Structures are given as structure tokens and as C-alpha cells.
Amino acid sequence: METVSTSKAYGGIQGVYRHASTATGTDMTFAVYVPPHDEGARLPVLWFLSGLTCTHANVMDKGEYRRTCAELGVILVAPDTSPRGDDVPDDDAYDFGKGAGFYVDATQEPWAKNFRMRSYVEDELPALIAAQFPMADMARQGIFGHSMGGHGALTIALRNPDRFRSVSAFAPIVSPLHCAWGEKALGGYLGSDRMAWRAYDACALIEDGARVAEILVDQGDADGFLVEQLKPELLVAACEAAGIDLTLRMQPGYDHSYNFISTFMADHVAWHAERLGR
């Protein structure tokens, strides 16, 4: 692992790191904020998965998480959203290819070789964090994300309930099976067998028996993607049927941007910190 940059922030260190990923076959860049802490302390790890078009840098620049992470002693890890590089296949659209990995392991060509963001985020990067950041207590992990990254957080948490103690999301894609973004991405990466998509759909995972104790979701009611792409009512229905404690907060006047995310970031970090222990 190579250190790209480190910078002191709120008493801790905001770092950017790069490594050669075996999962994606590319170099991958990610951001880690380590809050101020006592020598030998072990800190919970909160994963933030970003949305379409983002890299590790968007939430690092605009997410406003460091203040609360510093106050509550939480490490925040922000991976990229896809493999990168000139040799990686791409698509001209913003919602497919680079910047749009959808946290799946692709099975279709030409994507299958590099677009393995599920394996990367679920397995490879956690192992690297555990090895390189000795203060990271991997027994206390939470996960959250925005939009496509909210989809990633929900699906990864539902598939790994023993790994993650807490999961939340900002304006998540709750069911790729039921929106145009999902149809395009899962169809492209996984092929036309929609049964294969169900492992990457939070609502379908719940319908198929996956469980977490509780979920926190904030959703702006002025979000231009709300009706056609995000459809939180599908998650409400799935959680009600499954007995999952979902808190869905419709936030009046908020859009899909980082102005929305940053406004409720402190709430989410604190919510996770409470569940991850100190």
C-alpha cells in the first residue's frame, strides 16, 4: 500500500492510499480518516460507499464527516466506486462502467475481469485495512453510503450480518430490479437472468430471508431521482414484511447532493458510533 497523501484534520489524519488490487486487477485508491486517539486504542470502522460518478474523493471533500468522527472516535473508509485505468473497459454513460461499479462482481464480458467491486469492498479492502491500520477494530464495523453507495451498503450489510453491526443510507437505490439505473447496470454486469440480480438488491435480499436488526435511511423529498430510481416505499414494504426496524426520514426540501448528505452526516456517524460502541 502506497500513501498518496496525508493531512491533519480535526486532530486526526485524512489519508489517501493506493494499492494494486487482486480483485479488480487494477490500482485502487481509497481514503481513510483516522481520528485522534490514544496510543493503543482500537477504533470502530465505518465504511462509506459513494454514488454514481464518484471516486473516494467526493465524500472526503464534501461529506463533512471528520468533525463527528473525531468527536466520537470513528475511523471512516471511503473506497472508489469502480476500477480505474486506461485498460479498464468503460461506457460513455455516467451510469455504467467507470464510476458506476454498483458493488457487484460482474459475470458478463468485457466487465467480468475488472468490475469486481463486491469482492473488493467485501473482502480485499477490509483485509488491507486490518493489516495496515492497527488501530482499526474490525470486530466493530458499520457501513453506509449514498444513492448507488446506499444500495451497496444495504446489500453488503444484508449479505454479511455478522460483519456489520450497523447500516444506514442517504437516498439509496433500494431495488435495482425496479429502476432504470438498476436494470441497465445489473443487466450489463450480470446478464439477463434476473434471479442472479437478487443478491444485489436490498429488497430482494430481504424477501429471500436476509436480515439486519435495523436500518436508518434519510431521503430528501426534493430529490430528482426519488420517484423513478430510489423508491424508498419498496424498502418500507420489504422491511415491514420482514420485521426489520427501518427508520425512513423524509427530509423536506433536500435534493440528491452533498448538501443533503453533509446536513445529516453527523446524525449518521453518531447513530453508527452508538451501535459500534466506544
From 105, 201, 218, 223, active-site residue: 223
Cα–Cα separations (whole angstroms), residue 142 to 38, 110, 168, 179, 223: 21, 32, 8, 26, 25
Q: How far apart are CA 125 and CA 129, in angstroms?
A: 6
Q: Is 175 a catalytic residue?
A: no
Cα–Cα separations (whole angstroms), residue 88 to 27, 43, 48, 82, 105: 11, 35, 24, 10, 15
Of the two residues 53 and 119, which places its CB atom closer to a second copy in the complex? Answer: 53
Of the two residues 56 and 118, which places its CB atom closer to a second copy in the complex? Answer: 56
Of the two residues 8 and 195, which places its CB atom closer to a second copy in the complex? Answer: 8
From 147, 166, 168, 175, active-site residue: 147
Cis amide leading into 110 (omega within 30): yes
Q: Is 223 a catalytic residue?
A: yes
Of the two residues 11 and 191, which places its CB atom closer to a second copy in the complex? Answer: 11
- Which residues of the shown chain bind a second copy in the complex (CB under 8 A)? 7-11, 14, 61-62, 64, 66-67, 220, 222, 253-255, 257-260, 262-263, 266
Least gap, CB of 176 to a second copy (angstroms) = 26
Of the two residues 189 and 258, which places its CB atom closer to a second copy in the complex? Answer: 258
Least gap, CB of 120 to a second copy (angstroms) = 26
Which residues 6+ apart lie within 8 Å of 81 measured at CB? 49, 50, 51, 52, 53, 54, 55, 99, 100, 101, 117, 148, 149
Q: Is 147 a catalytic residue?
A: yes
**Residue 129 CB neighbours (<10 A):** 21
Least gap, CB of 50 to a second copy (angstroms) = 15
Least gap, CB of 221 to a second copy (angstroms) = 10
Which residues 6+ apart lie within 8 Å of 265 measured at CB? 63, 64, 65, 68
Least gap, CB of 13 to a second copy (angstroms) = 9
Give catalytic residue positions: 147, 223, 256
